[in-house]
Structure 1
Amino acid sequence: MENKLYYQDAYIKTFKAKVVKQAQDSAGNWYVCLDRTAFYPTGGGQPHDIGTLAYQHVINVEEIDGEIRHYLSTPFQDTKKEIAGTIDWERRFDHMQQHAGQHLLSAAFDQLFEYRTVGFHLGAEILTIDLETEVLTVHQVQKAEEMANQIIIENRPIEVKWVTEEELTQYPLRKETKVKDDIRLVIIPEFDYNGCGGTHPNATGEVSSVKVLDWERQKKKVRVQFVCGKRVTKQFQQKQQVLLELTKILNAPEKEMEQAVLRLLESNKTLEKTLERAQENLLQYEAKELLARSNVDDRKLVRVVFQNRTIQELQKLARIITTEDETAMVYFVSQNENRLQVVCARGTSGTGSMKKVVSAALPLINGKGGGNDAFAQGGGDALMSGEQMLQHLVENVY
């Protein structure tokens, strides 16, 4: 472990090393291996470090087959001389805060409610843990969050110990370790004892704070979303900015925001219903107008080419017409930019299969559709004019 400087001291920001290998992986990506490194590779739920090696940007770090690979955009021209490495400290310390905060929150859920953590993900914005329970209440979340933040306030030390498998019996581990050799324990005395290969600060106070954002059931587990450290401040700033903007838009103080939104939603529902009724009335009127000028051999033949009408509107209009007059035959085509949509329908006293009519027409426009003998619809590319499509539909019946 002596070449893994991040295990010797997680606060190392710069170091010097020698290149022991430079190669390309199976995908053609260049990487170098060093005789020692402070770059943490992806592992244990924690993302990799980034930074620079001799002014080259390190874009990824992985441990593969026992070697730590530092991925670069281009290879080094000279691999013989010693190079300087610099860690992106802001990213590293953020990961240290988040990972330690996860230990605190997981331990709190475990101690208070015996909810074991069975999954962990450290993302760019938020963290998640999966708890081995199907139900999680607001009260339980508040109690676990309070306990985690109390341990932060107490500024307890975060210790690291390397132990053997036999020595594990000396510690009340929160969960069984997967590693059997070179076991690394991260310990918060009298609170949490856990096998972990990640980087952590020296004391819980450096985590600053833990805040749960949300949780949801995932199959037979509950996934908890939370943030720690500087991310808590960032989340607060973002939410506060949104809240301030909403107070202006809704013209309501912060404490009355919920009621203002509920009133707005209720008003919107009323307006939607009113608009829906108005649209239904317009379609009813339009249907009567179309029927009034569509007499053919004692039947109503309604054939129209529309511009930019939705297929849902055409379907409603066709149903109104065929309900109003059982002898009606309806052929609608709508031209919407580079698309053609068709709706064909007949009343209960009509004959012929609308499904066959539409099925015969759709291949002409590379279209798809469906329906039955009385009502069918579909759409495709505008490979012909709306009038040409309408003529084709009608000719398939008469």
Structure 2
Amino acid sequence: MSLAEKRLYYHDSYRTRFTGVVTSCREAGGRWLVRLDQTAFYPTSGGQPYDTGRLGPAQVLDVFVEEGEVVHATDRPLPTGEAVEGEIDWERRHDFMQQHCGQHVLSASFERLYDIDTVGFHLGDEWVTVDLDAELTWDQVAEAERLANQVVWEDRPVYARFVTEEELAVLPLRRPPKVDEDVRVVTIEGFDHNPCGGTHPRRTGEIGLIKVVKMERMRGGTRLTFVCGKRALRVVQARFEAVNELARRLSVSVEDLPAAVEKLSQEAQGAQKRMRVLQDQWLDLRAEALVRRVAPEGGEPPGRPWVCEALEDVDTADSLRGLAQRVAAREDGATVCALAAVTGERVSLVVVSRDPRVDAGAVVRAALEPHAGRGGGNPKQGQGSAPAGPGTDASAVCDTVRRVLASFA
């Protein structure tokens, strides 16, 4: 029996039941690897994943090619030499048929419109991607998508066949075959001829819809993410519901949604600018209050105080850092400013030093180590954090900082 005869999916993608004889079965890693004299199960190859289903009482978990033979990984052994009834998971098979044929149509559209080749294809459980050998604009993608869907709606015949060398020589293939014998060509009537061993529907109308959802530039080319058929319907429905919900929340029509979002964006940018101004003003006032309230520590002479404070009104590491920098920058400020605060689930510590005797980064590392924290920096500024918990709050970290600073006095 030839390769083409053994693989029943080559001749009928709609065949979901068959009978095969088990030619071998061996255990490997908790699964059993089963070979049959013929199979309708598609193995992972050419960018298309494997079929699932059952062989008699066994569930088929994976299908792959090994030494030119289709191997079925099952959840239980099957007796060698006996016939077994196979059944394909049709929902999975048909989904892959829609996606794979949709890829042929989309790739052929880019070739026809822009002479752009497809250099990669991956069919995943949720999304399909194609890699094209040129950078594209979104307008080009949209035009190719329109042409591809026109071919779908024209409901053109799709057929696959093994061709002779003579036929191969005259067919206008979109790309050359990767094998030298048993070359199988999938034809979309009047539109595309492409060597392929995958499963496809009988007509393009069965693809239903092709929808590109993402475009990425990569290494001088473009990667497109798209979906077809039932997947495309799910994506369109989900995004339609999301758009409707946004329009409802903004009290505008769907048509007015872009303008409403642009208005919100401008308002948010303005609010952020005002917030930054207010934040800067608050940090200035907070720094002044810290300098006035905190007396010099560690016996330091006047004019060179060390400030070490646990704060409850700061909740981000950025604000903590900005406050410490302001305290140290004031003429009447601290030559060493160490501030700690709880930021989320961690205690953040920032140390800024204008004292040549005090290495800020070294203080941070030494102070956080007992609290299972990490940090670092340079002699002028250091920062880090430790997980907040029993025995580790802002006050506890400051107590440790004070002990560390005492070694520099």
TM-score by length of 1: 0.91
Please say which of residues 353-362 and 102-111 is displaced more in the overlay.
Answer: 353-362
Q: Could you tell me which residue of structure 1 aligns to residue 257 of structure 2?
A: 257
Q: Which amino acid aligns with 1:187?
A: T
Alpha-carbon distance in 1 for matches of 2:178, 2:142: 31
* 2:299 corresponds to 1:298: no
- State the secondary structure of the residue aligned to 2:173: coil
User: In the alignment, is the contact (CA less than 8 A) between 1:207 and 1:228 conserved in 2?
Assistant: yes
User: In the alignment, is the contact (CA less than 8 A) between 1:158 and 1:200 conserved in 2?
Assistant: yes
Q: Could you tell me which residue of structure 2 aligns to residue 353 of structure 1?
A: 359
Alpha-carbon distance in 2 for matches of 1:378, 1:23: 55
Q: Could you tell me which residue of structure 1 aligns to residue 46 of structure 2?
A: 44
User: In the alignment, is the contact (CA less than 8 A) between 1:315 and 1:343 conserved in 2?
Assistant: yes
The total of aligned residue pairs comes to 394
Q: Given the alignment, which residue of 396, 400, 404 partners 1:389? A: 400
Alpha-carbon distance in 2 for matches of 1:330, 1:105: 62
Alpha-carbon distance in 1 for matches of 2:142, 2:321: 52
Q: Given the alignment, which residue of 73, 86, 89 partners 2:75? A: 73
User: In the alignment, is the contact (CA less than 8 A) between 1:15 and 1:37 conserved in 2?
Assistant: yes
Please say which of residues 249-258 and 330-339 is displaced more in the overlay.
Answer: 330-339
Offset, 1:107: 1.1
Offset, 1:34: 1.5
- State the secondary structure of the residue aligned to 1:18: strand
Equivalent residues in 2 for 1:318-357, closer than 5 Å: 318-325=324-331, 328=334, 329-335=336-342, 339-347=346-354, 351-357=357-363
TM-score by length of 2: 0.88
Q: Which amino acid aligns with 1:103?
A: H
* 2:131 corresponds to 1:130: yes
CA RMSD of aligned residues (A): 2.4
- State the secondary structure of the residue aligned to 1:180: coil
User: In the alignment, is the contact (CA less than 8 A) between 1:94 and 1:230 conserved in 2?
Assistant: yes
CA 1:358 to 1:69, structure 2 compared with 1: closer, same or farther past 3 Å?
Answer: same
Please say which of residues 243-252 and 370-379 is displaced more in the overlay.
Answer: 370-379
Offset, 1:13: 1.3
Alpha-carbon distance in 1 for matches of 2:346, 2:98: 54
Unaligned runs of 5+ in 1: none
- State the secondary structure of the residue aligned to 1:255: coil
Alpha-carbon distance in 2 for matches of 1:353, 1:209: 64
Offset, 1:326: 5.5
CA 1:365 to 1:49, structure 2 compared with 1: closer, same or farther past 3 Å?
Answer: same
- State the secondary structure of the residue aligned to 1:135: coil
Q: Could you tell me which residue of structure 1 aligns to residue 212 of structure 2?
A: 212
Unaligned runs of 5+ in 2: none
* 2:111 corresponds to 1:110: yes
Q: Could you tell me which residue of structure 1 aligns to residue 319 of structure 2?
A: 313
Offset, 1:213: 2.4
Q: Which amino acid aligns with 1:281?
A: Q
Q: Could you tell me which residue of structure 2 aligns to residue 280 of structure 1?
A: 280
Offset, 1:60: 1.1
Q: Aligned residues: percent identity?
A: 37
Q: Could you tell me which residue of structure 2 aligns to residue 182 of structure 1?
A: 182
Alpha-carbon distance in 2 for matches of 1:336, 1:215: 37
Q: Could you tell me which residue of structure 2 aligns to residue 92 of structure 1?
A: 93
User: In the alignment, is the contact (CA less than 8 A) between 2:23 and 2:37 conserved in 1?
Assistant: yes
CA 1:352 to 1:11, structure 2 compared with 1: closer, same or farther past 3 Å?
Answer: closer
Q: Could you tell me which residue of structure 1 aligns to residue 62 of structure 2?
A: 60
- State the secondary structure of the residue aligned to 2:246: helix
Alpha-carbon distance in 2 for matches of 1:381, 1:254: 46
CA 1:157 to 1:390, structure 2 compared with 1: closer, same or farther past 3 Å?
Answer: same
Q: Which amino acid aligns with 1:82?
A: A
Equivalent residues in 2 for 1:265-276, closer than 5 Å: 265-276=265-276
